[in-house]
């Protein structure tokens, strides 16, 4: 939705930030105790949180494409009338 509309209106920053922070903290803990079962999912969470923050940073000042936003939010029309 963010890439389509070029707007972060539907992407809360704090949710993305705390996903990133949670993955980072648990990832560091997993490295300290040498626990692969904690490291893999939290490392993935850290990576995905980083991607979300990068997308947020890229699109936060972009001009929203109003036409695409309206199309994305409009209910789909039935094929047969």
Task: Find out whether 69 and 10 touch, Cβ atoms under 8 Å.
Answer: no
If one counts every other C-beta atom within 10 angstroms of the C-beta of residue 24, the result is 16
Distance CA 9, CA 32 (A): 38
Each domain of the chain, given as residue ranges in start order, spans 1-8+19-60
pTM as predicted: 0.70
Q: pLDDT tens digits, residue range 36-70?
A: 999 999 999 999 999 999 988 988 887 766 665 56
Instruction: Calculate what percentage of the chain has a pLDDT beyond 70.
Output: 78
């Amino acid at each position: 939705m963010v890439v389509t509309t070029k707007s972060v209106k539907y992407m809360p920053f704090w949710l993305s930030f705390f996903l990133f922070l949670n993955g980072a903290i648990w990832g560091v803990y997993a490295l300290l105790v040498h626990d692969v079962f904690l490291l893999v999912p939290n490392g993935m969470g850290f990576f995905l949180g980083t991607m979300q923050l990068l997308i947020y940073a890229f699109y936060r000042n972009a001009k929203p494409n109003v036409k695409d936003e309206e199309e994305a939010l409009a209910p789909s029309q039935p094929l047969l009338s």
